[in-house]
Structure 1
Amino acid sequence: MITSRRALITSASATALAAALAACSQDVPTNTAATGTATPQPVLDSERLTMILERIQAGLDAADKDKNADALAGYLTGPAARVRGEEYAVAKATADDTFVHVFNTTSQAGTVALAADFPRTVLTITDFADDEQGYLLALTQDSARENYQLWGWTQFFAGVEIPSTYAPAIGTEQLAADDSSDLKASPQDVLAAYVDALNNPEGDNGKAFADDVLRQRIAAERAVDLSEAGEVSVTAEAGSDGFKSLRTADGGVITMTTLSFSTVYKKTVAGSTLSLADSTVGSLMGDNQEVVGTVTAKYDVIVAFLIPAADADATATALGMDLVLASVSRDDSQAPAEDARD
């Protein structure tokens, strides 16, 4: 069962908890491609989940040691592999290994999909100390002949509450991106609303979501004062990696997905100097860290949401995120007219 040290066990979830604990003492049903059955079953038991997480940890540790993105193959996939590779690139460019986010895969609790086909999703919360924020990990198995791999991770925002979910022995429903069955909204609609909140913080969606760490980060990017030489703008957009979504015991859904945002630094005052030296963005610009026209810094974000059941007295919330500077590009042709003629 997924809970966190911040979870509130209601009477409804307590009933689910009792059922989950009872099921844990029973034989765990198996589910392989060879059975030929179409009946959804729990795709993993707790022991196999632990073994998978230990395997992924070993592969991740080996890749981290040399910051070798190629070594992630077979252990990380999708956005997890891409983001880890981007972290390696930033760490090398800045000579700062703290850009490689450290977490362990030791599971405090996990839940698995009820599925007879592929891909198959697993969510697990990492073990963490009382003064730390834990991580939510999403694993995927895309076909019967592939190993489970880490698909994404997010670090929980401070104070979030994670509802109960069923133990691996029971399993839980796996949802499609556009499935809003008995939910306040589908995963893809929640992502769209959150991206709108990032782009329009004073709009209806901006007021519906809490002022979390990601929203604060983007607000801080927009607030940078470059008026003596130029301007800065920030735009977010939904990712294209899909969703990993599992039903909670109270009928809601935990979903993980991706988005990105781009910060554009634009020189608007001819004859001025706009430099990004001594910054993370500047470190990825090579020897020339001056903004001549525009410089665009693109950030990759993995984000998780809790979507309540349709009859719940709550709205969708962002649970956590992880971000990395993915790329930096420049367009000197956008220089102010006077500079362009020089």
Structure 2
Amino acid sequence: MKARKAVAGLSLALTSGLLSACADEVPQPQPAPEPETPPAALDDQRLGRILDEIGQSVARADEAGDAGELGRRVIGPAQETREAEYAVAEATDGETGPSTLITDPQVSAVAASEDWPRPAMVVTEVPDGENLPLLLGLTQTSPRTPYALWGWVTLFPGIEVPQMARTEAGSPVVAPDAGGLAVAPENVADQYAQVLADPDSDRAEQFADDPNAQAWQETVSALEEDIGEFGEVSTDAAGTDTDPLALATADGGAIVLTEMRWELTVSKTVEDAGLTVGWPFDVLLDDPEVDGSVTATFERTVAFSVPSADAEDSTVRPLGVTEVLVDASRDDG
């Protein structure tokens, strides 16, 4: 019995020694090196599915003429714009329908970020019956919310959208208050609004000319000519409290998608005069006659190319706009 115990003990000792020797040779797992930049938040396949679902949501809502059908895939300024377009369509008995909105991608860029919100931007194909592509702004606001359409613009004729990183690489997210740019993203709308409200503003040199600003200057001038000495026209514009979306471009600048409001007011200045107004006031007002003043309010989603602060040319270029009439009111006091 004792011999057996000794052999067993020797066997155990040999086994322990072999295991000890083997343990010294077992390779240890090495952690992967930290990437220099965060990975892209989306790949082309996932982005394609998201765009398809957004397109289906918009199609359902357009068919019903009801913004409630947009669901979770359309939020923020995009939801507000579509809701206002449905209201205008109803007020005009369908004569003015919602703008064409497609999601077929031509070029896209997504956030390279480990934080939220995570924006993405897509230049679409040219919609059927139209001449110009759209720029869509998408965002995922938190880990538990789906990507959704935040806003869109129709790009201006002949405009060149600055180069962004391809989807597989991802683009750095630019914070609303980011420095290093000619204008911080959160300030772009307010500064552009000053130019719209007053073309002679000191801010005018900061922004390149664009068709939208020119069109509204012509609208104001034509309205002033129509009402003549019986009234006066005033405008007011400002950015909203909604944070913009911004992604970095390859040249160190950013594409900024932001929201603003613009008001157009006609006030009667000759008490006994008969003064009536047409578009845009008569779209949502039952009576086009002005006793005191009438105001039309528009919502605009505007895209800008904002250069870096040290760029040779620091001019901010508007890239495109979507605009909708959201309200008309009167003050007969």
TM bucket (normalised to shorter chain) is 0.7 to 0.9
Tell me which stretches of 4 or more aligned residues in structure 1 moved more than 4 Å: none
CA distance 1:41–1:177, change in 2 (3 Å): same
1:209 aligns with 2:210: no
Counterparts of 1:123 and 1:320, CA distance in 2: 13
Q: Which amino acid aligns with 1:64?
A: D
Counterparts of 1:97 and 1:103, CA distance in 2: 18
Q: Shift in Å at residue 166 of structure 1?
A: 0.8
Counterparts of 1:173 and 1:302, CA distance in 2: 22
Contact map agreement 1:197 1:207 (CA 8 A) in 2: no
Matched residue of 1:290: which SS? coil
Corresponding residue of 1:325: 325
Counterpart selection for 1:123 from 100, 121, 124: 121
Aligned 1:274-285 pairs, distance under 5 A: 274-277=275-278, 279-285=279-285
Counterparts of 2:71 and 2:211, CA distance in 1: 31
Corresponding residue of 1:245: 246
Contact map agreement 1:68 1:88 (CA 8 A) in 2: yes
Corresponding residue of 2:22: none
Contact map agreement 2:101 2:127 (CA 8 A) in 1: no
Corresponding residue of 2:193: 195
Q: Which amino acid aligns with 2:277?
A: L
Corresponding residue of 1:221: 219
Q: Which amino acid aligns with 1:172?
A: S
Q: What TM-score do the two structures reach when normalised by structure 1?
A: 0.81
Q: Which amino acid aligns with 2:326?
A: A
Counterparts of 1:236 and 1:214, CA distance in 2: 14
CA deviations 1:251-297 (Å, max 9, x no partner) are: 110010011110111111112111125x34212012x2211111110
Matched residue of 1:173: which SS? coil
CA deviations 1:85-141 (Å, max 9, x no partner) are: 001101110124544110210000100001112111010100127982111100011
Aligned 1:166-315 pairs, distance under 5 A: 166-181=165-180, 183-223=181-221, 224=223, 225=225, 226-277=227-278, 279-286=279-286, 288-314=287-313, 315=315
CA deviations 1:221-263 (Å, max 9, x no partner) are: 3211212421111111112211100001121100100111101
Give the length in aligned residue pairs: 293
Contact map agreement 2:208 2:316 (CA 8 A) in 1: no
Q: Which amino acid aligns with 2:322?
A: D
Aligned 1:10-29 pairs, distance under 5 A: none
Counterparts of 1:329 and 1:41, CA distance in 2: 49
Segments of structure 1 that go 5 or more residues without pairing to the other structure are 1-36, 334-342
Contact map agreement 2:102 2:127 (CA 8 A) in 1: no
Counterparts of 1:310 and 1:268, CA distance in 2: 46
Contact map agreement 2:306 2:317 (CA 8 A) in 1: yes
Counterparts of 1:94 and 1:273, CA distance in 2: 25
Matched residue of 1:163: which SS? coil
Corresponding residue of 1:136: 135
Contact map agreement 1:221 1:263 (CA 8 A) in 2: no
State the identity as a percent. Answer: 36
Q: Which amino acid aligns with 1:174?
A: V
Contact map agreement 1:218 1:234 (CA 8 A) in 2: no
Q: What TM-score do the two structures reach when normalised by structure 2?
A: 0.83
Contact map agreement 1:251 1:308 (CA 8 A) in 2: yes
Matched residue of 1:47: which SS? helix
Q: Which amino acid aligns with 2:174?
A: L
Counterparts of 1:157 and 1:299, CA distance in 2: 19
Q: CA RMSD in A?
A: 1.9
Counterparts of 1:220 and 1:94, CA distance in 2: 24
Q: Which amino acid aligns with 1:282?
A: D
Contact map agreement 1:221 1:234 (CA 8 A) in 2: no
Counterparts of 1:129 and 1:145, CA distance in 2: 32
CA deviations 1:182-208 (Å, max 9, x no partner) are: x22211233332122112212332234
Corresponding residue of 1:30: none
Counterparts of 1:165 and 1:283, CA distance in 2: 40
Segments of structure 2 that go 5 or more residues without pairing to the other structure are 1-34
The range that moved more, 227-236 or 245-254, is 227-236
Contact map agreement 1:273 1:290 (CA 8 A) in 2: yes
Corresponding residue of 2:5: none
Counterparts of 1:309 and 1:229, CA distance in 2: 47
